Amino acid sequence: MRIILSYQTQQLPAPYAYAAVMTIDTKNQGMLDVEFSLEYLDRDELSDDELHAEGFTRNDNFEWKGEITNQWRDEVEGLKDLSYKQEPHSDVYLHVAIDEKSLNFPEQIDQADMLFQELLQAILEKAELEAPLSIEIILDKRPYKLIWVFSERLIKVNGEESKEWKSGRTLLKTIYGLDFASAPQSKKPGNSSINLGEGLWYQISDKTVKNKLAELVNSLMN
């Protein structure tokens, strides 16, 4: 099966806006063969100084060809079972074609968009442009170092590997759904706190949140 995902940002301004094409070939029984290209959009009116101030250059377009783990196969091939519509969503442009047949735009756009973003992260890891995502959590003085390795579709909990990706996905959504802007911050960890890798610990005071995080972390280790 040959899946082509065509993506374009809808809400991001330059220099962040981009278009990307991801081609995944699942014919091999082992690793998945991937070709990927990304082109940044609408940068002509920005000066070099403006680009550099945002951490970019004139040469940020990116192409990559390689393999990612077979653990992604079921979800990638599952795109054929989604419902599709003729027009793109207003906030996400993601077009799907399988074996040279255009399926158009997934109705279940949140599911398809999340898969695209996860596969993109896997590619960036394989290309050594980004490291796996690492988050530290302390819950009632119990420390957990969590690492999401997208290229292998696994999560490490205090060094132990977990294949419970769906639980890890829910945990990640729960973490980033928290209101960190209003949470107390410290350079030192508290009894219950989260470090997103920025050198700051955000304190968790809500018991319901702590219980939810503990439940999800425990589900990774079962």
Question: Do 149 and 63 belong to one domain?
Answer: no
Reply yes or no: is the peptide bond before residue 189 cis, omega within 30 of 0: no
Q: What integer best gives the mean pLDDT of the chain?
A: 95
Strands 133-139, 2-8: pairing kind: unpaired
Question: Do 121 and 140 belong to one domain?
Answer: no
Question: Do 101 and 138 belong to one domain?
Answer: no
Closest residue by Cα to residue 68 from 125, 4, 134: 125
Question: Do 120 and 159 belong to one domain?
Answer: no
Question: Do 9 and 100 belong to one domain?
Answer: yes
Question: Do 106 and 214 belong to one domain?
Answer: no
Alpha-carbon distance values, 210 to 25, 138, 140, 168 (Å): 41, 10, 8, 16
Q: pLDDT (tens digit, 9 = 90+) per residue, 183-205?
A: 999 999 999 999 999 889 999 99
Domain around 115: 2-126
Check residue 16 and give its pLDDT.
96
Check residue 89 and give its pLDDT.
93
Distance, CA of 30 to CA of 73 (rounded, Å): 10
Closest residue by Cα to residue 117 from 222, 14, 20: 20
Check residue 30 and give its pLDDT.
85
Instruction: Specify the number of domains making up the chain.
Output: 2
Query: Where is the domain boundary, 68, 95, 126?
Result: 126
Question: Do 36 and 119 belong to one domain?
Answer: yes
Check residue 80 and give its pLDDT.
96
Distance, CA of 125 to CA of 1 (rounded, Å): 24
Question: Do 122 and 152 belong to one domain?
Answer: no
Query: Where is the domain boundary, 101, 126, 151?
Result: 126
Strands 193-195, 201-203: pairing kind: antiparallel
pLDDT at 29 over 90: no
Q: Residue 77: CA atoms inside 13 Å, Cβ hemisphere, count? A: 12
Check residue 160 and give its pLDDT.
96
Question: Do 111 and 8 belong to one domain?
Answer: yes
Query: Where is the domain boundary, 99, 126, 153?
Result: 126
Say how many C-beta atoms besides its own lie within 10 A of residue 193's C-beta. Answer: 22
